[in-house]
């Protein structure tokens, strides 16, 4: 009782909201999904198991996936100045 935890449910895709989306998802199997409308994902579990004592490969994989997602989003929706990626 008394936590600030929030849970959100993702409704079926009924309209394009890519320009406003700022969420990433991790599946129960350890895959990082950056967009529900793309097939692109990264296997975080494999990266963690292959490099249990180093975080650089994990960070590199996540950054590469974020950049790939941004490129796909821009080509599909056009550049959005409100998108903030690093």
| Residue 79, pLDDT above cutoff 60 | no
Query: Is 60 inside a domain boundary?
Result: yes
Tens digits of residue pLDDT in 14-50:
656 666 667 788 889 999 888 766 677 889 999 999 9
Residue 2 forms part of a structural domain: no
Flag whether 35 is in a domain.
yes
Mean pLDDT over all residues of the chain?
75
For residue 4, is it within any domain? no
73 domain residue, yes or no: yes
Q: Which domain holds residue 57?
A: 23-77
pLDDT at residue 3, rounded to an integer = 82
Buried b (16+ CB within 10 A) or exposed e, 19-47: eebeeeeeeeeeebbbbeeeeebbebeeb
Q: Which of the two residues, 77 and 51, has the higher pLDDT score?
A: 51
17 domain-assigned: no
Number of domains in the chain: 1
């Amino acid at each position: 009782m008394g936590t600030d935890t929030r849970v959100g449910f993702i409704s079926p895709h009924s309209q394009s909201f890519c320009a406003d989306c700022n969420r990433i998802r991790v599946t129960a199997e350890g895959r990082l999904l950056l967009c529900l409308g793309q097939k692109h994902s990264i296997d975080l579990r494999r990266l963690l198991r292959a490099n249990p004592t180093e975080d650089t490969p994990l960070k590199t994989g996540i950054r590469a996936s974020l950049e790939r997602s941004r490129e796909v989003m821009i080509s599909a929706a056009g550049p959005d100045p409100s998108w903030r990626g690093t």
